[in-house]
Structure formats: C-alpha cells, structure tokens
Amino acid sequence: MKEKFYITTAIDYVNAEPHIGHAFEKILTDTIARWHRLQGKEVFFLTGVDENAQKNVQAAEAAGLPTKKFINQNTQSFINLCKILNIGYDKFIRTTAKEHTEVVEEVIQKIIDNGDIYKGEYEGEYCVGCESFKTERDLIDGKCPEHNRIPEHRKESAYFFKLGKYQKKLIKFAENYITPKEKKNEITSRLKEPLNDLCISRAGAEWGIDFPGDKNFKVYVWVDALINYLSGAKERWPADVHVIGKGINWFHSVIWPALLMSAKIELPKKLLVHGYINLAGQKMSKSLGNVINPIILTEKYGADTVRYALLRCSVLEDSDFSEQILIERHNNELANKLGNLVSRTSALAEKYGTERTTNTLIKKLKLKEIEKYFEEFKTDKALNEIFAFIDICNEFIQSKKPWETHDKKILYQLVYSIKEIARLLFPFIPESAEKISQVFKSDKIKKAPILFEKIDIPKQNLNKSEEPKEIMEGVTTINFDDFEKIDLRVAEIQKVEEIPKADKLYKLILNDGEDGRTICAGIKEFYSSKELKGKKIIIVANLKPRKLRGIESKGMLLAASNKDHTKVSLISPDQDIEVGSIVG
C-alpha cells in the first residue's frame, strides 16, 4: 500500500475576492502536495472557504445582496483562483455544506458529553475582522494588529469551552507540532500564562450552524471552521500538515488541538506557520485595503510566472512582493537562466545529437539538500538549490562550448541534467516543467520553443482584452455597472446625539432632501458635536439599513483616513450645493 499524506490550507473568508496572500498559501501547499506525489505517496489535499463567518453576512449587506447569493459569487472566485493557478486540490470544502454541519454537530456533542462546555456570560473586546474576542495583550496601541482597528466592546450570554483544562497537554503537544521554532516559542510562552476558557457560541446571529441543543445560539465561527479539516477528510484524518498564516497560529496551535483532545479524536501531526506576503513592508489584507488581485495578475503573466515569483518568497518569514519583483524574477531567472539553458541545449542536441556517458554534471546537484528542505517545508530554499544547479549547467555549457566542439557527451550530460531539473521543478511550475520534459522525452530532440517570453515593461497593458484593470486594488475591483448602483448624495447634519456607552459612535440626524435620515458614524474621536452640526457631507444613500447599538443606521458617510487610521477627514462638498444633490 502507498504511504498516505494529508495536507490542508486554511479555509478563506469569502467577504471579498481573493488576494495574493491567499494565492501564496495555496501555491505553497500545492507545491508540497505535488512533491509528495512525486515520492509515490497517496496524497489528499484539502482547501476551501469559510462561508459561515459573520463578516461575510456584513459584506453581503453592504453589497445589497442576499447572503447566499453573495457567498456563492465570492466562493466561485476562490474556485477560479485555484483553477487559474493550477492548484491540484483533491477536495474544495464549503462550510455551508450539510456534510460539514453534521460533523460540527457531532464533534461539539462529544465535547458536551465530556463535560467541557458550560453556559455563562462574556464581556470583552471583539475584533470583527478576526471574529474573535481579544485580550489586552493581543492589541497594539489598543488596536488589533491584524486589521489595524479598535475592537468593539461586547457583552453577551454564551457557551464556554473549558480550554484551561487542557493547558498542560497543549504545552507538551506544541513542542513537536508547530514549525518554525519561533512560532512554537510564541505559543509555548503564552501557554505558561493562565489560559481562559473559550467562548464558542454567538447569540442572536441568523447565519451559521445552530449550537447543539440551543437554537438561540450559533456555533462560534472558528470552532465551526477548524472542524472542516475533519469533515473534509473523514477517514483520511489525521492531517499530516496544516498550512496556515501566522495570524491564525493560536487558533490552530491551541484551540484546535484542545477541541480534539476533549472530543477524544486523534491529533494532527504538523502545523506549518508561514510568513506574510507584504507590500512595502505592510501586510496585505482585504480589511486594510492594500491587496493585489492574483487572478488579474495570473491572466496577465501566466500561472507559472506567478507561482515561481511567489515561491521564491520566504516560507517562514515575511516577504515583500510586487508586480516589479515578479517581472524581475521572470526575466532574470525563468527567461535568462532556465529558458536560455533549455533553448541552447535543445538546439545543440538537435544539431549534433547526444552520446551516452557518465554524467559527472548531475553529481553537482544537491538532491539530498533539496529533499531535506522539503522535509522542513522550506520550499523556497529547495527552489534556490534547483536554480543553483541551473546556474552550474549554464556555466558548464559556456565553458565546454559544445557549439564549437560538437561534443555529444557534453550534450548528453546537459540533456539528462535538464530532465532531472524538470522533474524537480514540477511541484513548483508544473506547466513549464511538463513542456521541458516533452522536449527531451526522446533521443530525437527538437529545439524547444521559447518557454518564457521576456516581459517588456513599457509595452505591457494591464489587460489586453478589456479596459485597464488595476492589479493593485482597494478591497476589490468592480465593474462600472456595479459602481452606477451606488447612490451618493449631499446631506446636511442637523443634529448630533450621544449614544450611551459608545466611545466612537455618534447618532447623526441628517437632512438629505427628503425625510430625516439617521446614521451611526464612528467619528467621535475625530470631530466634536459642535464641529459636525450644520456640516454638509456626502453619504451612500442606498445601503441596506443595519442596527448599531440598537439604532437603525440608514446609510454611510464618506471620509478619508491615513494608513494607520489616526487621522480622519469627512468628505464635504461646497456649502452652496443643495442637500439631496446627486454625486456622480
């Protein structure tokens, strides 16, 4: 029987389209999965989306779409991302699926039966972006470091999981579970402090999985989401490797194994915590609005170029990435090094042929180091070793000058070294590796077509078939038809009211040319009520109403803020423009 290997990515929120960080994790995981398939293992690769998150619901409301329709649309974007990037997953899980719901209910019932869940009341700071409560130590300058926002204060009845009960077991388990060492040390350090019990329910939510035995509550989304690794795999459990970003290390290193311990389910074997893909040193995030759209990027440059450029980024540490970095890696490494080697060798082999001999060249390939790097999940270093050998091959052909000597033995060594290069590159750039293999698959070699056309930056268009789209975007790109749906109007603030126990929200009564409109706006720390009264502003008039602090807010005002949200300025029209005027 084949050795089995089960690997997972984290499942992604579908509150917006995928960004380059999602692409990196999927490409990284796909590369590891393909490597293990090359070793003859029976691999099962699970990826998917988290459709039960509350912020998916909020995003649907903001888009003016039914939640299910909105989720279906964005889920398709993640499926398209996998397809365009040649991600060879075995299953794509959606957490709204019945099979997942059933497994969630079964696992929670096991934990209840074990006496590890009780009902109580929770009060604390809640980050909507993370969908979790935060302790003071989790925050930097009072803000969630993942989303650069101040959490909301919440108080609610809830069901709790006795997380603290498993503290000693978790410390022991973490030692051989988490990689790299730095991420393990972060967790074990935190586990030496008192471990609070975990709130595992949401009160009053309409979307999500009903809490077993009490339909007034939904299962906390992180408990629901983590169980996907079981529901998606079933008999293939336990996972050999979970691949995740560092921002969700705690959930996978502490909460997930503790739930499994309580439910008496076998534990996963390894957790790979990778670094972030940054833009100019800042984490890319849909919430922060500085994302690169990987689908547009791939449509422009091709899957293997995007895969290669991202896989050259560090796995275990943060890395900067940009379109310019991608172009440099494509031109300097794929085109100049790999493409040139394949082109020159195939042309010479076609002209002069090859003659079998001892391949001394291949002995310079550090195969054991490459295998070791894969064992340690350092795929970037494995790729570096492969390209170090490509450099050696280019130096070899340059020094031996087979175009002058017509030495068939030299060409034999080059051809069979390139075959091994293609095999090793298959996990990284599968389409190109297959093309190389096809060129050298028989003794009758023909000159290879150009594998990697040089990217001429000044002549590139963002999108050849459509009007230009931005690869670098805010939250996501939209069509002009979608933009036309937004109803922007001029309004005047007639009255400013305090909201009890709200540190940041004002209740604003507006004159927008019709009946008085009420909106809640989080601008209290930037404007006094005196400054706001009588001020003309721009509002989004056709947002679906939503309740904030028990007040129905009918719209949203427009404001500008700096990157760290320490300065906010309301967008104001000229004072002589009439209220109710349409902006557009």
Contacts 24+ apart (CB under 8 A), 467-470: 469/293, 469/296, 470/293, 470/296
Question: Which of 55, 100, 147, 330 is an active site residue?
Answer: 147
Question: Which of 286, 330, 536, 554 is an active site residue?
Answer: 286
- Exposure string (b/e) for 111-139, b if CB count within 10 Å is 16 or more? bbeeebbeeeebebbbbbbbbbbbeeebe
Q: Specify the pLDDT at position 525.
A: 79
Euclidean distance between CA atoms 512 and 534, whole angstroms:
12
**CATH class of residue range 4-122+163-192+219-292:** alpha beta
Question: Which of 36, 274, 283, 378 is an active site residue?
Answer: 283
pLDDT digits (tens, 9 = 90+) for 478-496: 555 556 668 788 888 989 9
Q: What are the domain boundaries of the chain?
A: 4-122+163-192+219-292, 323-454, 486-583
pLDDT band, very low/low/confident/very high, at 22 (cuts 50, 70, 90): very high
pLDDT digits (tens, 9 = 90+) for 95-130: 999 999 999 999 999 999 999 999 998 777 877 666
Q: Specify the pLDDT at position 462.
A: 40
Q: Specify the pLDDT at position 460.
A: 43
286 catalytic, yes or no?
yes
Q: Which CATH number fits domain 323-454: 1.10.730.10, 1.10.3210.10, 1.10.10.10, 3.40.50.2300?
A: 1.10.730.10
> Is 60 exceeded by the pLDDT of residue 471?
no
Question: Which of 26, 36, 130, 507 is an active site residue?
Answer: 130
Average the pLDDT over each of 66-70, 167-171, 237-241, 461-465 and give the range with the smallest value: 461-465
Q: Determine whether 567 is exposed, middle or buried from the number of CB atoms within 10 Å of its CB (0-12, 13-18, 19+).
A: exposed
274 catalytic, yes or no?
no
144 catalytic, yes or no?
yes
465: Cα within 13 Å, side-chain hemisphere = 3
82 catalytic, yes or no?
no
Question: Which of 144, 199, 313, 393 is an active site residue?
Answer: 144
The token pair at 123 is 């009060």
Considering the domain delimited by 486-583, tell me its CATH architecture: Beta Barrel (2.40)
pLDDT band, very low/low/confident/very high, at 583 (cuts 50, 70, 90): confident
Q: Which of 344, 342, 345 is nearest to 354 (CA)?
A: 345
Q: Specify the pLDDT at position 466.
A: 35
pLDDT digits (tens, 9 = 90+) for 314-367: 999 999 999 999 999 999 999 999 999 999 999 999 999 999 999 999 999 999
| CB of 540 closer than 8 Å to CB of 487 | yes
Euclidean distance between CA atoms 37 and 374, whole angstroms:
13
Higher-confidence residue: 508 or 479? 508
pLDDT digits (tens, 9 = 90+) for 194-251: 999 999 998 878 899 999 999 999 999 999 999 999 999 989 999 999 999 999 999 9
130 catalytic, yes or no?
yes
pLDDT digits (tens, 9 = 90+) for 362-381: 999 999 999 999 999 999 99
147 catalytic, yes or no?
yes
pTM of the model: 0.76
Euclidean distance between CA atoms 128 and 123, whole angstroms:
15
100 catalytic, yes or no?
no
Q: Specify the pLDDT at position 467.
A: 32
Question: Which of 26, 82, 127, 199 is an active site residue?
Answer: 127
